[in-house]
Structure 1
């Protein structure tokens, strides 16, 4: 690949990362609207879009999907060990870790 082509690819990568960051923010705003209006379709749609955007953003930044999954599992176990309130009250963190490890 010639030097100008590498420059174009670099600029394109930066632009895609910036676009994905705005997608994450947009989906958070949509999630909040869905919660405000108690719109289940809007909530699940924005949550799924947010998850997709996060995974693709991680990939565009040089991390594999597996690396992100492993980091999430590690973070879940760490928070559960430290007595995070969501774990103490509901067991959500260990439940999510179990689910992710079984897929």
Structure 2
């Protein structure tokens, strides 16, 4: 890749990362609105958009999708081991770990 092409590629990557960061914030705001108004469609759409943006941002900064999945699994195990309240009260973390493991 020539020097000008590399500069354009780097600038484009930085721009995409910045856009993804704003997308995450925008979707968090939409999620809060959906929760406030009990709008299930908006809640579901915002959560899905957050997951997608997170995976794409991870890829743009050098992580594979598999690495993100592995990090999530490690985090779930850590929280389960440390008896996180969500696990103690509802079993959410071990259920999510089991779900991810079956994918």
Q: How many residues align?
A: 103
1:1-80 maps to which residues of 2 (within 5 A)? Answer: 1-80=1-80
Alignment partner of 1:96: what SS? helix
Please report how far the alpha carbon of residue 54 of structure 1 lies from its aligned counterpart in structure 2 after TM superposition: 0.3
Tell me how far apart the structure 2 counterparts of residues 32 and 70 of structure 1 sit (CA, whole Å).
28
Q: Structure 2: give runs of 5+ residues left out of the alignment.
A: none
Cα displacement (A) at 1:6 = 0.3
With the length of structure 2 as denominator, give the TM-score of the two structures.
0.99
Consecutive unaligned residues of structure 1, counting only runs of 5 or more, are none
Q: Distance in 2 between matches of 1:31 and 1:74?
A: 26
- TM-score of the aligned structures, taking structure 1 as reference length: 0.99
Query: Over the residues paired in the alignment, what is the CA RMSD in angstroms?
Result: 0.4
Q: Which runs of 4+ in 1 moved over 4 A?
A: none
Output one character per residue of 1:34-73: Cα deviation in whole Å (capped at 9) or x when no partner: 0000000000000001100000000001100000000000
Separation in 1, partners of 2:7, 2:85: 47
